[in-house]
Amino acid sequence: NTVIILTSNLGSDIILNDLEQRRAQGTNELSDEAKHQIDLLLRSKFRPEFLNRLDEIVYYKSLTKDEMRKIVDLQLADLRSRMDEGKHLNLDVTTAAKDYIIDSAYDSVYGARPIKRFIQSRVETLIAKAIIQGRYAEGSTLTVDYDGNALVLK
């Protein structure tokens, strides 16, 4: 057996508009109306013979904050590992800092993709500057926190 997954940006404007409204209502699921509009768009762009060969159409679902937190945790685990291997440094990231990363890095168009770049540019750069300045000795624990304005090291 083989599973083939096809993706398309068809209807992305419908999805973005609908999800913006739905998030305000506390959900990340597409409305039935948006799904209906996308179905109509699919039928207008693809021949019935092609659509009939598809077993299922899965609609986009935006990430929840918990899912975003898991992605941030995975990226930070990678950073922790590199810090431990290279400089034998430990990394602790507060909940406030993680929330700031999630709120700042998430993009409704690109989803979670910017998280890695955000962590590289904001967290890793902050840590690298502190290491270069000699603020932390081997075996130290660096704590990244959010002070209400920016990420800070403690």
Averaged pLDDT for residues 5-24: 90
Flag the least confident range among 15-19, 49-53, 122-126: 15-19
Alpha-carbon gap, residue 93 to 103, rounded angstroms: 15
Task: Give 153's Cβ-side CA count (13 Å radius).
Answer: 18
Check residue 113 and give its pLDDT: 87
Q: What is the DSSP secondary-structure string of 12-67?
A: HHHHHHHHHHHHHTT--SPPHHHHHHHHHHHHHHS-HHHHTT-S------PPPHHH
Start-to-end Cα distance in the chain: 53
* Residue with more model confidence, 77 or 19: 77
Antiparallel, parallel or unpaired: β 151-153 and 141-146: antiparallel
pLDDT at 109 over 70: no
What pLDDT does residue 112 have? Answer: 85
Please give the CATH number for the structural domain made up of 65-153.
1.10.8.60
Q: What pLDDT shows up at residue 49?
A: 96
Could you tell me the pLDDT band of residue 108, with boundaries at 50, 70 and 90? low
| Domain residue limits, the chain | 1-62, 65-153
Q: What does DSSP say about strands 141-146 and 90-93: parallel, antiparallel, or unpaired?
A: parallel
Segment 20-49 shows an average pLDDT of 92
* Alpha carbon distance 20, 34 (integer Å): 12
Q: How far apart, in whole angstroms, are the C-alpha atoms of residue 18 and residue 108?
A: 11
Q: What is the pLDDT of residues 47-105, one digit of tens each?
A: 999 999 999 999 988 888 889 999 999 999 999 999 999 789 999 999 999 999 999 99
